[in-house]
Structure 1
């Protein structure tokens, strides 16, 4: 598609959101004059809404998203979803190709092993379950959608932290409803208070919840990290600033 050298004001952008970066980018693009719609999956009951138009709910897979892009004359898609939202990212790449719309992925950098950390990287949630020794007391920070595999572990004690708590969790779990950012002091106090012996987390990246890694490292608590899923190839940037620059460049030069 030839974007030409036209003014970017009013150009239609769809952000697949739900992350802090998506909200920040939406605000910057709205301020710059783009017509921004952010799509939220609707999995959180109390989402933080970005500036611009907000659309809630799914699209109906690849075909539904492609049709949305065409019927709403979307000129660019920004996939700024969570690094573990593999299905929507795959759908976005395929749908953008079907609709002949440019796509960029805004993906925060993955965490790297802190110096001195006891760090075990695993390929799946089930691998993380199997890595836990009998009698462990685990700080579980994988989000509410990935708790299922841990429910059968009766020889491990869990302190599960998430933004919103689903119904039906075991009564012997300690459940904490909290939203970051978290501090090193607070995370250290939490782990000491609950006698945590292991931390289980997805490699989500980002500064808002990274303090738990530093706290666990200082306390010599093993960190079990679930590796990110593989995503289809796409033009990728790793910060809001680079995303804004890439969007301006693409619209300006084609």
Structure 2
């Protein structure tokens, strides 16, 4: 089974490990950064591509590599690539799976400090209006900084980002000084989030609704303990995405793969 995997998330690493452990497979993982590709390789991906790919190049790679299935395990907020990958699969008539992590269960969490918005522009406006007295922790990636910085002064802005060239260049371009950059290597713990709030004297934190695997609960609990506001960007709704293509855990992924390749997998298991 040849798998073309759009990765760059912790979910994609789990998928690689699961497929390699259970199936006779070849996996090509694409990510937008060298760091993401390194993690994919360590997880067992046979090959990686570490840069954003345009639609035409993805189509060419899938055709030339004769891939059997396209799995999109990109971030829940990677709206464009999810829509593009679904279109590609439909165009090439190959099986498509969207792995979408569940939304965060906040049933037993104090949500009184959360302010929900639909965009980073809206987040910036809210900070300018209501939370302009203190510093801002931006826990939502380098690609989302520009919209917020239309309304927030750089001297009050502290982004937690991967220290990769593209992200550092964005900071420099936007006027964010190096001593304001918080290095990121993964989801932060509750204690780490509290430490950052205290260290940078933050009055508000920006984050995406990226699910438990993205450390959302630890961010909310840290904000609650320090009594600061948390602005949460709601997930985009991908128009036209077939709900039957979506799985949210490895068991559902396994069922979907078996439904696509039942005859082939049965033959491999019996040695036929």
TM class, shorter-length:
0.7 to 0.9
Q: How many residues align?
A: 243
Shift of 1:196: 1.6
Q: Please state if 1:216 is matched with 2:211.
A: no
Note the residue ranges of structure 2 that are not aligned, 5 or more in a row: 265-272
Shift of 1:230: 2.0
Instruction: Tell me the TM-score normalized by structure 1.
Output: 0.85
Q: What's the counterpart of residue 8 of structure 1? A: none
Q: What's the counterpart of residue 33 of structure 1? A: 24
Q: Please state if 1:185 is matched with 2:184.
A: no
> Which among 81, 97, 100 is matched to residue 93 of structure 2?
100
1 CA distance for matches of 2:154 and 2:193? 24
> Which among 193, 197, 214 is matched to residue 203 of structure 2?
197
1 CA distance for matches of 2:134 and 2:196? 16
2 CA distance for matches of 1:92 and 1:60? 10
Q: What's the counterpart of residue 20 of structure 1? A: 10
Change over 3 Å in CA distance of 1:102–1:155 after alignment to 2: closer
DSSP 3-state at the match of 1:166 = helix
Q: What's the counterpart of residue 66 of structure 1? A: 59
Q: What's the counterpart of residue 153 of structure 2? A: 154
Shift of 1:163: 1.8
Q: Is the 8 A contact 2:72 2:98 kept in 1?
A: yes
Matches within 5 A, 1:132-143: 132=127, 133-143=131-141
1 CA distance for matches of 2:96 and 2:162? 29
- Structure with the higher fraction of residues in helix conformation: 2
Structure 1 segments (4+ residues) deviating >6 Å? none
Does 1 or 2 have the higher relative contact order (CA < 8 Å, sep 6+)?
A: 1
Change over 3 Å in CA distance of 1:117–1:218 after alignment to 2: farther
Q: Is the 8 A contact 1:67 1:99 kept in 2?
A: no
Q: Is the 8 A contact 1:141 1:201 kept in 2?
A: yes
DSSP 3-state at the match of 1:64 = helix
Q: Is the 8 A contact 1:134 1:155 kept in 2?
A: no
Note the residue ranges of structure 1 that are not aligned, 5 or more in a row: 1-10
CA RMSD, Structure 1 to Structure 2 (Å) = 2.4
Change over 3 Å in CA distance of 1:143–1:58 after alignment to 2: closer
Instruction: Tell me the TM-score normalized by structure 2.
Output: 0.80
Q: What's the counterpart of residue 251 of structure 1? A: 261
* 1:159-202 CA distance string (max 9 Å, x none): 22112251314239622102223221222222123222111011
Q: What's the counterpart of residue 227 of structure 1? A: 234
Q: What's the counterpart of residue 7 of structure 1? A: none
Matches within 5 A, 1:72-111: 72-111=65-104
> Which among 125, 130, 136 is matched to residue 130 of structure 1?
125
Q: Please state if 1:176 is matched with 2:170.
A: no
DSSP 3-state at the match of 1:179 = coil
1 CA distance for matches of 2:115 and 2:226? 16
2 CA distance for matches of 1:222 and 1:150? 16
